[in-house]
Structure 1
Amino acid sequence: MDVLSAMQWWEEWQLRVLVLGSLFIQFFLAFAGRMRAMPKLRMFLWLGYIGSDAVAIYALATLFSRQKKLTVDAGSSSLEVIWAPVLLIHLGQNTMSAYSLEDNELWRRHVFTLMTQVTVALYVFCKWWSGGERLLASAVLLFIVGIIKFAQKPWILRRASFASQQAASSVSRPRKAGIVSALWRFCTTQYSEAEAAKNKGWRKGQKHESLQKFVEEASKSALAPEAEAADHKQMYDEMASAIGHTNYFVDVIAPYSAGLKELKAFMKLASLRGNLTIDWYIRTRFLALYANVRTFGSPLALLLHFFLLPSMALASLVLFARSHKDGYSVHDIRVTYIVFCWAAVQELIPWLFTPVLLFYQNLPKCMGTTNGGMVMVPQYNLLSYCARKKKPSILMKLATFSFLRELVGKYGCIEEVDSTHNIVWLVFSYVKLGWKQYIQGDAARYKRFNNFRGQMTLSLLGLMERIGWSVSTRFDESILMWHIATDLCFSYPNTSVTSPQAVSYAKMSKDISNYMMYLFFISPEMLIPGTRPALFSIASEHIELLLKDSTVPLDKEENLAREILKAKKRKDTPIDDACKLAEALMELEEGKRWALIQNMWVEMLCYSVSRCRGYLQAKSLGQGVGFSSWVWVMWSFMGMETWVERYHRLEEYPDLGGGGGSGGEGAHVMASNSMSQGGAAEGRGAEEGGDERASSYRSQGGADEGEEGRGAEEGGAERASVRGRRKGRQGGATTGGIRGRGAGGRGEGVGASGSRSQSRARDDDGSIEITIVR
């Protein structure tokens, strides 16, 4: 076939190829949803999502241009014109509404596209149509279907946008509206949203809720036994009822009453059945954000998708089959049959898909003893990355440019392990133990527990003074340091794991460590705000410089670990700090060492997920249900503090007014310097009756951080010191000092004015005692 023949063939078949290509993309998108969780195949899903609109719009433009230039018989042209409503149906996309979370925010652009493409399709059809009555009726029915489907797309995107999701999850009272507005709201509101609206009378009593009361009730719930086998169905019903009112993925704060309801229901479930509940919750939110399933729950959607649209699509197919087709091209007839049949199948998908969805929503009840839909845990390892650079793969050798080699080296080292159930169980046990043995109904301890990133484990094992410095630095530096130290302990021959229990600890430690490094280097926004992934590359370069003169093959992690520990290191580098930490860990007994490392990684994992926004978690769902979402949802279900609660919760302060108290009448301790003159104190505010203000508040080891003070915990005992200085001028100069020490400390003060008084103030839990001397 010469070039001229090929051009003639393309001129004749161009529109048919475009229509069939658009049809193929729709078929591909209908069954390619699982590719989201496959990084190597996710690009094809993205190309299909982007190309679906592009090919359909280009086909409409080609149809318009072709009809203007067409000089053949009217029969052939009229059969091509009937493809215009089919292309509108393709623009509606019956299955996947959005590829990424940002696509939902582009609903205004789709409104403009809707107006322009519907106008073009109607113009082409009205100007060049010349078919029979049955063909006309078939085309009109498809036009109605196409316009409804296409108009539904921006509406779906708007309802799935972040602002709309937040509005749907708000706790405001229902607005009063007229009959028309109320009827429209009833027709377009999902059944689940209507049920949630009945339970949104939280605003009225929310201001009376107390964090202390929530913590007390939650601590009691942690002591309740798990549900018996006969009560599983009831527990699932309670859990489904509880989680239906809080959408954590849109950064909504649930009242303490709703959080307590979730906590009580979740605590009674066994770990496996709790995992199934989490899986159901996450996938339900995924369908609401990225699929058209949310439109199937309203009365109007049920009428359209289950009765009106399928009936019209089937009727159009029947009318076309019984219409007069003499004089039309055989190829056009075949293409028309194909696209009409697929249009009918698309509209029948809800009849086939809904029973599957209803079964999946009841999956926890049906599969109470199976492993359910577990996700894989991504893995990334620094030593493995360095070893692969010493022995590059074939793909890295084929990459000509340096940036291509970096991309291949970065994304080619990602692995996955099936440790979701075990790690989630560790997190569940850690939080439940925190409720039982540490928090114990104390709001102050609740806040401290949410800020632990290893301090509790080190304090319980008495290692805070020895290696507490490893968690006192920036979190990303601490993660990198502990990751390298874990690998050194795991790969170094002298510290190889032998006992079965230590093997289990080591495996979990390795899996969590590699997952945290995956977040660190591949998805730093999911680790913690301000994470610097460049530290990974810097550490890799330090290892290369450190071992540049080594004669040992460095294509294995074991050889790298051995050579790193033996090499002479520069001070104040990530590698030097990691080696110091690893050497301190190697001095511990094997079981204690790996129990420590595992618990440290569990604490750091919980610290990280609690500081991740719900918006970022919702965005990550666009790449498939991730492991981070599992831990994050469990953390929320178990009543722990989330990112939005941390910055919006009203802090409860003790009464700082005069009139006495445990600290003595008229005595106040404040974290600022002050000066008094003529009997009035001047500082950040004037206090009547005199005041004592401390200039600094400091403790070491991990207690609360205040506005102008830092708390810490060392060796399991909290220590605090308050030092203040007051200068005044009232008949002479008076100088006072305040000193206090926690847990049975002492206080002393000296006053130059000739008068001396003493008062004591003790913290609620009795761990901090402040002595004030005037």
Structure 2
Amino acid sequence: MGLSSAMHWWEEWQLRILVLGSLFFQFFLLLSITMRRTVPRLRVLVWVAYVGGDALAIYALSTLFSRQKQRIGDRVTSALEVVWVPVLLIHLGGPYAISAYSLEDNELWRRHLMTLVIQITVALYIFCKWWSGEEKLLQAAILLFVVGIIKFAEKPWALRRASFNSMQASSSLSPQRKSSSTVVGGIIATIGRWCISEPYDLILASGRGNKWRELQESESLQKYVEEASKCVLTTEVDYEEGAKAIARHSELFGHTDYFADTIAPYSVRLSELQSFMKLGYLRGYLIVKMYIEVRFAIMYTKTRAVFSPLGVFLHYYLLPSLALASVVIFARSHKDGYSVNDIRVTYILFFCTAAQELYIWAKDLLGILLRTCQNRVGAYIGRWVSVETDTLAQYNLLSYCARNRKPTILMKLATFSFLRELINKNWYIGQVQSASHITFLVQRHVEDGWKKYIRGDTARYKKYNNLRGQLTLRRHHQMERIGWSLDMPFDQSVVIWHIATDLCFHYLNTSPQGVVTRGIGWSRDISNYMIYLLFIHPEMLMPGTRPGLFHIASDSIELFLKDSKASLDRAGNLEHDFICSTKTTKTEDRLILLICNLTEALMEVQENDRWQLILSVWLEMLCYSASRCRGYLHAKSLGEGGEYLSNIWLVWSFMGMQTWAERHHNLEHLEEEDDEGEEEQEQGGVDQSVEITIA
């Protein structure tokens, strides 16, 4: 009896639960944009809602179709259920806050277009075949049908505009082609472009945009390097201009879509460099974050569709008006003979649909209210509360080995070895709040590169873009001693330097006191982040990166320390054990020998210079890695919360350095330079910018 009652209850409430569940997914997606980017371990919930929301709405439509076929003789009691059909269409369109979960979703716009045709046809068929309600209820349903069809049709359109090919096409710097030879056709095409274009697309089409296009004349690289060097030397931080730049960042930095691997003219790059230099370090960092936020909105939300002139009319005026009108009409309609539960569910659906359409108004009004409480620049800075809260992902190879030797409680609970490996890889990713400081160091590093190394020389400009630590070793007169550690494949250099950095930190004669403390911390933070990229996101470290090197190094270390009895209860014990073993144990493992040789060479350097050297090498490696990751991968990482490497990549690009696209389109004719002469020109040794920052 209990089972039959449960089945009867489920039969009665199934459709209501499905529709309300679909509504819950919509509001969860609408409010989850912050969680999606800031809480990595909860992003799976957003993915479930994104995938499950569409599936649930389609399943609800099919359930409604089946129920109407079974209850075809009872038209009165089922009329309200038919009104839910346009609401499900609205749910299939999704909220404006999310259009794609991953970058690949944008390339599936054709599939969504086919789904659009099929689902609208099915919805109209269900509604027309089984509708039996009164006139006012019909009016409310028709209004919601208009909302549903517009929102559902908007989804494939938004996906198409955010596809990679579309972004590259919209980033084209060429003038718009005439779409028709007739005057009428040209007017219609112009109006159409105006209706669907974004605001700064319209700027490009205006007189200012035409003036900007005039700057695209072909220029030589030599002229660009000379002008850029002068720009860096002569441009001073202008706080007043910096405040204006924060307010109009899309005009200054919005023309070049680096995420679409766009190649900008040298004149445009020079203009960006000059604007970026005027900002200073803090405002420059905020501009980078704003640029990422805007590009994220373009690629993963319906921003390009919503904030076009046509989109503004639809989302700010038409759709909210239709949704509110449907609520009023439904409230005034006769409801005699309908199920009380169906009436309540319908009220919930209508009110929540209206609230969803008014969300964009509420969001803008809240923004206006905040801006009235603080000045314009403060409002923008307040969007991120404090740069101190920005984090940098961390992973450590020696800690990984320690957990393998002495598994944690969580790893012991995993029954199978592959689960323990999965937990050890993904659960112990740390975070440190040093992202902003390291970004400032990179900005200073690139600025000094223009001033002290490039100095208007094209050959040195190209060479600087290919350095990954050699410049630092040469300045510290260590090229002959440890230059070999940078002449090997980049991923192998990362592994060796990562372990050597840890060993130098735990060496007995290393003092954690004094002015080098922050230099030690930042060196380890970059080191742990680079090994995190190699192990977790090898595609972003550099093309051809071999994540298997992480396991090879781990196996070599575990084999080297197999007879060790050291306790692993405290952090650093494994490092101390490794150091002791290098003095007493002979090994033929090439990787261990390279690590020992590098560590010994670094420990021979005086302590202050040692950490100055290590930090500068890691800064060069970080810039080298960022500049060799194509924009598509940076764009893809934004859908997964974003990678800090994208910040470095944008700083590198805004500071006028060579981008991935430029490197593969320009011929590389590096002039051979006399290393001895180069050393003489760079006397003065240590990178002063890093010294000043650490001190």
Q: Report the TM-score, using the length of structure 1 for normalisation.
A: 0.82
Matching of residues 355-374 of structure 1 within 5 Å = 355=365, 364=377, 366-367=379-380, 371-372=386-387
Counterparts in 2 of 1:200 and 1:535: CA distance versus 1, 3 Å: farther
Retained in 2: the 8 A contact 1:279–1:374? Answer: no
Counterparts in 2 of 1:471 and 1:555: CA distance versus 1, 3 Å: farther
Structure 2 match to 1:475: 490
Q: Match for 2:639 among 616, 619, 622?
A: 622
1 or 2 for the larger relative contact order (CA 8 Å, sep ≥6)?
2
Structure 1 match to 2:594: 577
Q: Could you tell me how far apart the structure 2 residues matched to 1:302 and 1:156 are?
A: 14
Q: For 2:599, what is the secondary structure of its paired residue?
A: helix
Retained in 2: the 8 A contact 1:383–1:557? Answer: no
Counterparts in 2 of 1:197 and 1:359: CA distance versus 1, 3 Å: farther
Structure 2 match to 1:62: 63
Q: CA deviation at 1:308?
A: 0.8
Retained in 2: the 8 A contact 1:375–1:626? Answer: no
Structure 1 residues 122-144: Cα deviation after superposition (integer angstroms, max 9, x where no partner): 11110111111100000010011
Structure 1 residues 373-426: Cα deviation after superposition (integer angstroms, max 9, x where no partner): 953100000111112222322221121122111110101220001101110011
Q: For 1:530, what is the secondary structure of its paired residue?
A: coil
Q: Could you tell me how far apart the structure 1 residues matched to 2:247 and 2:332 are?
A: 51
Q: Could you tell me how far apart the structure 2 residues matched to 1:618 and 1:48 are?
A: 22
Q: CA deviation at 1:438?
A: 0.6
Structure 2 match to 1:124: 126
Retained in 1: the 8 A contact 2:200–2:250? Answer: no
Q: Could you tell me how far apart the structure 1 residues matched to 2:366 and 2:499 are?
A: 46
Matching of residues 72-83 of structure 1 within 5 Å = 73-83=74-84
Q: Could you tell me how far apart the structure 1 residues matched to 2:659 and 2:109 are?
A: 30
Structure 1 match to 2:464: 449
Retained in 2: the 8 A contact 1:272–1:371? Answer: no
Structure 1 match to 2:331: 321
Does residue 395 in structure 1 map to residue 395 in structure 2? no
Q: For 2:562, what is the secondary structure of its paired residue?
A: coil
Does residue 261 in structure 1 map to residue 271 in structure 2? yes
Retained in 2: the 8 A contact 1:491–1:557? Answer: no
Retained in 1: the 8 A contact 2:298–2:304? Answer: yes
**Code of the aligned partner of 1:432:** E
Q: CA deviation at 1:357?
A: 6.5
RMSD, aligned α-carbons: 2.3
Counterparts in 2 of 1:449 and 1:356: CA distance versus 1, 3 Å: farther
Counterparts in 2 of 1:238 and 1:60: CA distance versus 1, 3 Å: closer
Structure 1 match to 2:691: none
Structure 1 match to 2:258: 248
**Code of the aligned partner of 2:303:** V
Structure 2 match to 1:498: 513
Retained in 2: the 8 A contact 1:138–1:320? Answer: yes
Q: Could you tell me how far apart the structure 2 residues matched to 1:29 and 1:242 are?
A: 32
Q: Could you tell me how far apart the structure 2 residues matched to 1:375 and 1:635 are?
A: 19
Structure 2 match to 1:728: none
Structure 1 match to 2:687: none
Q: Could you tell me how far apart the structure 2 residues matched to 1:426 and 1:213 are?
A: 27
Retained in 2: the 8 A contact 1:513–1:601? Answer: yes
Structure 2 match to 1:749: none
Matching of residues 426-441 of structure 1 within 5 Å = 426-441=441-456
Retained in 1: the 8 A contact 2:259–2:634? Answer: yes
Structure 2 match to 1:690: none
**Code of the aligned partner of 2:227:** E
Q: CA deviation at 1:237?
A: 5.6
Q: Match for 1:339 among 326, 339, 349?
A: 349
Retained in 2: the 8 A contact 1:239–1:262? Answer: no
For structure 1, the residue ranges without an aligned partner over 5 or more in a row are 654-703, 720-741, 743-774
Q: Could you tell me how far apart the structure 2 residues matched to 1:502 and 1:460 are?
A: 18
Q: CA deviation at 1:571?
A: 3.2
Retained in 1: the 8 A contact 2:215–2:267? Answer: no
Counterparts in 2 of 1:322 and 1:612: CA distance versus 1, 3 Å: same
Q: Match for 1:298 among 289, 293, 308?
A: 308
Structure 1 match to 2:657: 640
Q: CA deviation at 1:573?
A: 2.3
Q: Could you tell me how far apart the structure 1 residues matched to 2:320 and 2:155 are?
A: 17
**Code of the aligned partner of 2:379:** C
**Code of the aligned partner of 1:646:** R
Q: CA deviation at 1:524?
A: 0.3
Q: Could you tell me how far apart the structure 2 residues matched to 1:548 and 1:200 are?
A: 69
Q: For 2:107, what is the secondary structure of its paired residue?
A: helix
Q: CA deviation at 1:203?
A: 7.0
**Code of the aligned partner of 2:20:** L
Does residue 186 in structure 1 map to residue 194 in structure 2? yes
Q: CA deviation at 1:293?
A: 1.9
Counterparts in 2 of 1:402 and 1:368: CA distance versus 1, 3 Å: closer
Q: For 1:268, what is the secondary structure of its paired residue?
A: helix
Structure 1 match to 2:689: none
**Code of the aligned partner of 1:644:** A
Q: CA deviation at 1:16?
A: 0.4
Q: For 2:431, what is the secondary structure of its paired residue?
A: strand
Q: Could you tell me how far apart the structure 2 residues matched to 1:59 and 1:88 are?
A: 11
**Code of the aligned partner of 1:589:** Q
Structure 1 match to 2:362: 352
Structure 2 match to 1:562: 576
Retained in 1: the 8 A contact 2:247–2:377? Answer: no
Structure 2 match to 1:759: none
Structure 1 residues 487-510: Cα deviation after superposition (integer angstroms, max 9, x where no partner): 0011222323332x1111100000
**Code of the aligned partner of 1:245:** H
Counterparts in 2 of 1:542 and 1:590: CA distance versus 1, 3 Å: same
Q: For 1:432, what is the secondary structure of its paired residue?
A: helix
Structure 2 match to 1:767: none
Q: Could you tell me how far apart the structure 2 residues matched to 1:167 and 1:47 are?
A: 32
Q: For 1:83, what is the secondary structure of its paired residue?
A: helix
Q: Could you tell me how far apart the structure 2 residues matched to 1:280 and 1:569 are?
A: 53
- Structure having the larger proportion of residues in strand: 1
Deviation larger for 377-386 or 557-566: 557-566
Counterparts in 2 of 1:200 and 1:608: CA distance versus 1, 3 Å: farther
Counterparts in 2 of 1:589 and 1:552: CA distance versus 1, 3 Å: same
Q: Could you tell me how far apart the structure 2 residues matched to 1:619 and 1:599 are?
A: 29
Retained in 2: the 8 A contact 1:98–1:104? Answer: yes
**Code of the aligned partner of 2:231:** S
Structure 2 match to 1:465: 480
Counterparts in 2 of 1:196 and 1:573: CA distance versus 1, 3 Å: farther
Counterparts in 2 of 1:510 and 1:105: CA distance versus 1, 3 Å: same
Does residue 418 in structure 1 map to residue 419 in structure 2? no
Q: Match for 1:174 among 176, 200, 205?
A: 176
Q: CA deviation at 1:59?
A: 0.2
Q: CA deviation at 1:270?
A: 1.6
Structure 1 match to 2:54: 53
Q: Could you tell me how far apart the structure 2 residues matched to 1:712 and 1:579 are?
A: 32
Counterparts in 2 of 1:340 and 1:570: CA distance versus 1, 3 Å: same
Structure 1 match to 2:555: 541
Q: Could you tell me how far apart the structure 2 residues matched to 1:61 and 1:230 are?
A: 60
Retained in 1: the 8 A contact 2:395–2:528? Answer: yes
Structure 1 match to 2:17: 17
Retained in 2: the 8 A contact 1:202–1:255? Answer: no
Structure 1 match to 2:546: 532
Structure 1 residues 683-705: Cα deviation after superposition (integer angstroms, max 9, x where no partner): xxxxxxxxxxxxxxxxxxxxx4x
Counterparts in 2 of 1:591 and 1:360: CA distance versus 1, 3 Å: farther
Retained in 2: the 8 A contact 1:165–1:250? Answer: yes
Retained in 1: the 8 A contact 2:82–2:130? Answer: yes
Structure 2 match to 1:90: 91
Q: CA deviation at 1:72?
A: 6.4
Q: CA deviation at 1:274?
A: 0.9
Does residue 404 in structure 1 map to residue 404 in structure 2? no
For structure 2, the residue ranges without an aligned partner over 5 or more in a row are 180-185, 682-695
Q: Could you tell me how far apart the structure 2 residues matched to 1:303 and 1:601 are?
A: 50
Retained in 2: the 8 A contact 1:460–1:716? Answer: no
Structure 2 match to 1:150: 152
Retained in 2: the 8 A contact 1:452–1:607? Answer: yes
